Amino acid sequence: MDIHEYQAKEILARFGVATPKGALAYSPEQAAYRAREIGGKLWVVKAQVHTGGRGKAGGVKLCRSEDEVMDAADELLGKKLVTHQSGPAGKIVGRLYIEGGVAIAKELYLGFVLDRKSERVMVVASSEGGMEIEEIAAEKPDSIVKVSVEPAVGMQAFQAREIAFALGLKPSQIQSAVNALMGCYRAFEELDATMLEINPLIVTEDDHVMALDAKMTFDDNALFRHPAVAELRDKSQEDPRETHANDRGLSYVGLTGKIGCIVNGAGLAMATMDMIKLAGGEPANFLDIGGGATPERVAKAFKLVTMDKNVEAILVNIFAGINRCDWVAEGVVQALEKSPVGVPVIVRLAGTHVEEGRRILARSGLPIIRANTLAEAAERAVAAWKNNANTVGLKVVNA
């Protein structure tokens, strides 16, 4: 789960990380009022969206008067912000963060990420802040500092000092940097985050280290331990299909292809998408309905997949172990009888009670295309999609 910049800064501030003074605004008038509250002669108006690259896309504006703040807010609110990370769909700006200007002496990069290979929290820092970490790695790899944290003892102050010195900070700036590093680690570890990025982490002209930007991502499976964090979720910034799936206990990731996938098991779902591509098609989604693929769960999966108007064929691929093919077949039949999908449906069943499952599909009388192997199912799905697309195209031309 991602959260907004202002929410991440509120969390970091509670753990002792310094941040510039700022406030939230939902209208141009409120933005100007927030600037007046903050004081000073320089403000930054930031679009609050779940995507990186806001600055390059025009989502961050520097203002030198309250009128400029109001004009910037008026321009940004309701705007679809398209960045290199958001894709062409973009993100709608519904709220702004107004922040006071800060005299910057130096920009740094700081990131905390869960390294699953080493089973450690990895701290990644660089003296080249303000750039994407990918750009830093490509252009100035020698500037990157990496430190692995031993989970048994957590991050130690000496590690934070080593990072601070490696970033080229002055002795007068070290303690402030250590406070920021230790505070970030505590927030990361105590709240079950999977990623924390501050870019840039700045050094002010009076030698204070503070977070000028902040991103945090949390482990969805641990949110039950942190209800206050779970409440920070902004569904308006999420793919509505993924939100719909998440609320119903399904694992779904929307893609750009035409063949919808309903599969049990993440590994099998990945293999199914690979086979579709190998057969010449493109998957429309990753969807893992889990081990308990009851008829009701299968029906929910069909409804979810058909929410994507780009889907022109649906491939159901089930390998039943603790599950049962006859239950899945009943779910497919019930779903199609209740709400016909209007596109070809290809079903491949294997495993427990597979013969009974196939008989249920055959007796249903529904136009279900059956397959015995994954390769056969993928080929038939791609063929059905192409045939369906040609038929639709012919109808449009004849119309």
Number of CB atoms found within 10 A of residue 206's CB: 10
Residues 207 and 250 in one domain: no
The number of distinct structural domains making up the chain is 3
Residues 245 and 371 in one domain: yes
Asked whether residue 186 carries a pLDDT value surpassing 70, the answer given is yes
Whether residue 398 lies inside any domain: the answer is: no
Residues 218 and 367 in one domain: no
pLDDT digits (tens, 9 = 90+) for 96-150: 999 999 999 999 999 999 998 888 999 999 998 877 888 888 888 888 999 999 9
Range of the domain at 84: 21-101
Q: Binding-site residues, please?
A: 46, 53-55, 99, 102, 107, 199, 213, 264
Final residue in a domain of this structure, among 76, 101, 126: 101
Asked whether residue 227 carries a pLDDT value surpassing 90, the answer given is yes
Residues 76 and 137 in one domain: no
Whether residue 399 lies inside any domain: the answer is: no
- Lowest model confidence (mean pLDDT) among 56-60, 178-182, 238-242, 333-337: 238-242
Residues 255 and 381 in one domain: yes
Final residue in a domain of this structure, among 208, 223, 238: 238
Q: Binding-site residues for Mg(2+), please?
A: 199, 213
Residues 13 and 111 in one domain: yes
Whether residue 396 lies inside any domain: the answer is: no
**DSSP classification of residue 281:** -
Residue 83 to residue 95: CA distance in whole angstroms: 17
Whether residue 349 lies inside any domain: the answer is: yes
One-character DSSP codes across 118-170: TTEEEEEEES-TTS-HHHHHHH-GGGEEEEEEPTTT---HHHHHHHHHHTT--
Q: Given this model, what pLDDT does residue 162 score?
A: 96
Q: Given this model, what pLDDT does residue 47 score?
A: 96
Percent of the chain, pLDDT > 70?
96
Q: Binding-site residues for ATP, please?
A: 46, 53-55, 99, 102, 107
Residues 273 and 341 in one domain: yes
Whether residue 397 lies inside any domain: the answer is: no
Residues 225 and 259 in one domain: no
Residues 255 and 322 in one domain: yes
Whether residue 150 lies inside any domain: the answer is: yes
Q: 157 to each of 109, 139, 179, 185, 192, how far by Cα in Å?
A: 19, 30, 9, 11, 21
Final residue in a domain of this structure, among 56, 76, 101: 101
Q: Given this model, what pLDDT does residue 187 score?
A: 97
Residues 159 and 85 in one domain: no
Whether residue 329 lies inside any domain: the answer is: yes
The answer to whether the pTM exceeds 0.85 is: no
The tokens describing 91, both together, are 């993100």
On whether the CB atoms of residues 76 and 47 are closer than 8 A, the answer is yes
Q: Given this model, what pLDDT does residue 126 score?
A: 94
Q: Binding-site residues for substrate, please?
A: 264
On whether the CB atoms of residues 322 and 346 are closer than 8 A, the answer is no
Q: Given this model, what pLDDT does residue 56 score?
A: 87
Catalytically active residues are 109, 197
Whether residue 38 lies inside any domain: the answer is: yes
pLDDT digits (tens, 9 = 90+) for 287-297: 988 766 677 77
| 3 state DSSP class of 193 | strand
